[in-house]
Chain A
């Protein structure tokens, strides 16, 4: 396995619910993120994308499958996790909630250094991280408190806090969802710049396919705990194959899919995953009879991601067409 690749194989995270039911939040996911690439993990709320990110960071213990980094399986001793988190950093969604209102910007950014016992040149490292995150001149922000900053500046402080440990990878959970539209582009540009200048990889979790189009190299579309389609952004978003991806893309303004396909209903509960293909109850191809030839397999068998390495889809209909 190449240096610094974060991988999940057959990853499962289950939660016990009252009444003995089990929610399968992440239900068998294979995913790789390499340094120097930005991977978008997209899906609707409740599809398990945040749980997957937490499991990749060792914040959630998988109930099955494995997470590895640079070929080494993730170990859950606190010492191993601490070393791991120095190399893979999390950027949270809501910068206002992620920052302690009583800590100055300097303290917020230096916290990671202190936790990891990095004492040499603390002010220099903090200044460097702030300036990489676009807060310049950094010294001017040292003594500011979060409430004195705008939303965009707060998110930059959170990003500086992740950068200060010089990680190989960032895992960013909806990094711009709480920001004003005009400010988002600047934050996304930062992620792109880190990738281009420093080879920093990132897994960006988002519900926004436009964001993936703006910055990601590859995209994985998640539905109800599983990745249903995965590949280069250009191909997945301009020529989506899985009926779910097609529907998601079709409802965007000026979509490359001509007719909007508005799915009825909502994402089912993760404790009641339908048998057979999990997307079947909402699948327009199944309902319209387009998938008649593979109907029995849709009803009986959960499709796995298959296809050429670069473009993989979990759909019986797509598989049948690939063979034909």
Chain B
């Protein structure tokens, strides 16, 4: 069953440098009990996409298209309804827990806050529930009395997850939720998140720059570049056999240990991600692309199916069956 659906979502910021298109027409869907991965680098629009779901974008952002949660359009619903949907319908685990937690409140109180705001329990019950939630994410309930600075990075990230679970949402958006963590702590947190999806059937959108993590955790992955989805398909295939030169390069940035092809050959791309205010003409990836052909300079490729219905790519070369890496 489709839980969340983006239909031609576009977000444009207006700033001192004029109109900056951050998200340029995204269509995606997430089912309950499924993890959708969104990969991309800073400035590609992936966090804007996450914020758009709960309408957390600044007023200057112009949002068009539809975001359907259980069939209801989040972009047009009234503020009262939206307030009810935040935390109970969908919640977000942000990156950088240190900055997202309030430094002067005990973490138990912060976890209990959404429960109180939604008026579902008395303060005592909410506090007890907060302890339960902390236990569920692998922290001793006594940690409810700690302040954020008394916790390690991994523990703080667990508190953020406990908070996101507070009102039993159907959808959790994890925006670079494990990026700042060490590999072992990251493995612990990913185990926790995937366990939640498997046991409780929540839907999850996992946003990360690390395509290798997404390939290990997600069913489907979408790769974003300059505000658009450039490739979509089963996560492991997108990582192992990319059908877009950008996904191939992003995947190569995370070498597989033991793979002789990546030994002594760090993968990467020349150049930098484009400035969204000054996107190149034609395909926005063309200036960094090693396989570009003539029409890439003038036409912008659409995301269309390649190799069957499951995989799609926005690359003229891949659409014609050509290799995306030299």
Contact = CB atoms under 8 A, between A and B. Distances in A.
Contact of B184 (A182, A210, A238, A263): A263
A185 B183 contact: no
Interface in B176-229: 182-188, 191, 209-213, 215-216
A181 B252 CA distance: 9
A2 to B, nearest CB: 23
Interface string B269-286: 110110000000000000
Interface stretch (A63-71, A249-257, A288-296, A305-313): A249-257
B315 to A, nearest CB: 16
Contacts of B213: 253
A213 B183 contact: no
A186 B249 CA distance: 11
Contact of A185 (B186, B215, B253): B253
Given A214-B263, A247-B184, A184 B268 contact: yes
A150 interface: yes
Contacts of A152: 272
Contacts of A247: 184
A215 interface: yes
B96 interface: no
A209 B273 contact: no
B78 interface: no
A237 B266 contact: no
A185 B268 contact: yes
Interface string A94-127: 0000000000000000000000000000000000
Interface residues of A, number: 43
Nearest to B252: A185
A266 interface: yes
A4 B153 CA distance: 39
Contact of A253 (B188, B249, B252, B256): B256
Given A186-B269, A192-B266, A210 B187 contact: no
A152 B253 CA distance: 14
Contact of A180 (B42, B188, B191, B215): B42
A22 B249 CA distance: 46
Interface centre among B185, B213, B268 (most CB of A within 10 A): B268
A213 B152 contact: no
Contacts of B188: 262, 264
A254 B256 contact: yes
A215 B184 contact: no
A233 to B, nearest CB: 8
B141 interface: no
Contacts of B256: 210, 253-254
A253 B191 contact: no
Contact of A186 (B187, B239, B270): B270
B41 A180 contact: yes
Given A183-B268, A186-B270, A253-B215, A266 B152 contact: yes
29 contacts: A44-B184, A45-B153, A180-B272, A181-B41, A182-B41, A182-B250, A182-B253, A182-B269, A183-B272, A184-B253, A184-B268, A185-B252, A209-B257, A211-B266, A214-B264, A214-B265, A214-B266, A215-B266, A237-B257, A247-B184, A248-B184, A251-B186, A252-B257, A253-B212, A253-B213, A253-B256, A254-B257, A266-B152, A267-B182
Please list the 7 inter-chain residue pairs (A to B) with the smallest Cβ-Cβ separation, ordered nearest first: A185-B268, A188-B266, A251-B187, A214-B266, A181-B253, A44-B182, A185-B266
Interface of A: 44-45, 150-153, 180-189, 192, 207, 209-211, 213-215, 233-234, 237-238, 247-249, 251-256, 260, 262-264, 266-267
Interface of B: 41-42, 152-155, 182-188, 191, 209-213, 215-216, 239, 246, 249-250, 252-259, 262-270, 272-273, 288
